[in-house]
């Protein structure tokens, strides 16, 4: 049976929102997604969970805009969407589908474009989006922990590369902790030049682009 809940009681004009949540890779429906919806103007909020068929039904007030998003442990890419009931809609039934992606643990993910200023831990501007992504992932998936692994290229002394990458990993952890992610959920590892991914090792001349392949940040997600 599809779950139904009214967002606004005694509304003069109502629309029915019929939604379904799907696994973005497998295509199957997902039961137990926590669906949160907020009336942008009034601030009224409600929460409902998808049924065994991944479906939910909500009654919406007319002439309003809503933000809707779904969360479920061990899933991410939980985007916020906007639903509008303003104007004369062709039907009083609004049908939507949402895709969310299952978290795969114990697999390293490289955060592309997350780089640091030379010889310090400051993040270049293009990398800030990755911090936001990681924060959202951890804040919405409380059963997920993360290992942050920072790598360097082979230029410079081994000890220095180990030290600077540990400093950078610690800094990324500090940012997440400052956003109220528990420190116990985050492990920071400075790898240095121990895991070079190409042939740009000590004594080999390489282009800047080739060295950049080795200067990377990886995350490994772990289920708690």
Give the tens place of pLDDT for each residue, 132-189. Answer: 888 988 988 888 999 999 999 898 899 999 999 999 999 999 999 999 999 999 999 9
pLDDT for the residue 10:
45
Q: How far is CA 160 from CA 56, 139, 199, in A?
A: 55, 33, 20
The confidence score (pLDDT) of residue 12 equals 57
pLDDT over threshold 60, residue 207: yes
Q: Where in the chain is the domain with CATH 3.30.1330.60?
A: 108-223
How many residues can be counted in the chain?
A: 224
- The confidence score (pLDDT) of residue 11 equals 42
What is the 3-class SS of 98-166, one letter each residue? EEEEECCCCCEEECCCCCECCCCCCECHHHHHHHHHHHHHHHHCCCEEEEEEEECCCCCCHHHHHHHHH
Q: So what CATH class is 4-102? A: mainly beta
| pLDDT given at position 185 | 98
Mean pLDDT of 106-127: 80
Place of tokens 């220095």: 160
All CATH 2.60.40.10 domain ranges in the chain, comma separated = 4-102
* Per-residue pLDDT at 141: 83
Answer whether residue 126 shows pLDDT above 90. Answer: no
Q: What is the pLDDT of residues 8-49, one digit of tens each?
A: 444 458 999 999 999 988 999 999 999 999 999 899 999 999
HSE toward the beta carbon, residue 18, CA cutoff 13 A: 7
DSSP state, residue 194 = T
Cα dihedral 193, 195, 198, 202 sign: positive
- DSSP run (H or E) holding 174: helix 158-178
Please give the mean pLDDT across all residues of the chain: 87
Structure tokens, 215: 């200067």
pLDDT value at residue 121: 80
Q: Which pLDDT score is estimated for 79?
A: 61
**Distance, CA of 19 to CA of 96 (rounded, Å):** 5
Q: For residue 22, what are its two tokens?
A: 């799907």
pLDDT at position 17, please?
95
Percent of the chain topping pLDDT 90: 56
For the chain, what percent of residues have pLDDT higher than 70?
92
Higher pLDDT, 222 or 6: 222
CATH number of the structural domain 108-223: 3.30.1330.60
The helix (H) or strand (E) run that includes residue 81 is: strand 81-84
Q: How many CB atoms lie within 10 A of CB 68?
A: 20
- pLDDT level of residue 4 (50, 70, 90 thresholds): low
Q: Which carries the bigger pLDDT value, residue 80 or residue 105?
A: 105
């Amino acid at each position: 049976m599809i779950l139904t809940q009214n967002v606004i009681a005694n509304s003069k004009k109502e629309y029915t929102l019929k939604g379904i949540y799907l696994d973005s890779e497998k295509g199957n429906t997902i039961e137990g997604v926590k669906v949160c919806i907020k009336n942008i103007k009034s601030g009224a909020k409600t929460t409902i969970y998808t049924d065994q068929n991944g479906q939910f039904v909500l009654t919406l007030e007319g002439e309003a805009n809503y933000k809707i998003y779904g969360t479920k442990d061990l899933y991410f890419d939980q985007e916020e969407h906007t639903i509008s009931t303003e104007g004369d809609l062709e039907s009083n039934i609004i049908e939507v589908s949402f895709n969310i992606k299952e978290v795969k643990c114990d697999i390293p993910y490289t955060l592309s474009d997350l780089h640091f200023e030379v010889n310090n831990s400051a993040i270049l501007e293009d990398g800030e989006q990755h911090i936001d992504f990681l924060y959202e992932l951890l804040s919405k998936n409380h059963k997920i922990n993360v290992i942050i692994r920072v790598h360097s290229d082979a230029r410079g002394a081994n000890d220095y590369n180990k030290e600077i990458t540990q400093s950078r990993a610690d800094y990324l952890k500090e940012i997440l902790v400052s956003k109220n992610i528990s420190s116990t959920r985050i492990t920071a590892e400075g790898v240095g030049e121990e895991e070079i991914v190409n042939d740009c090792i000590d004594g080999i001349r390489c282009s800047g682009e080739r060295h950049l392949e080795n200067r990377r940040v990886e995350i490994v997600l772990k289920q708690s």
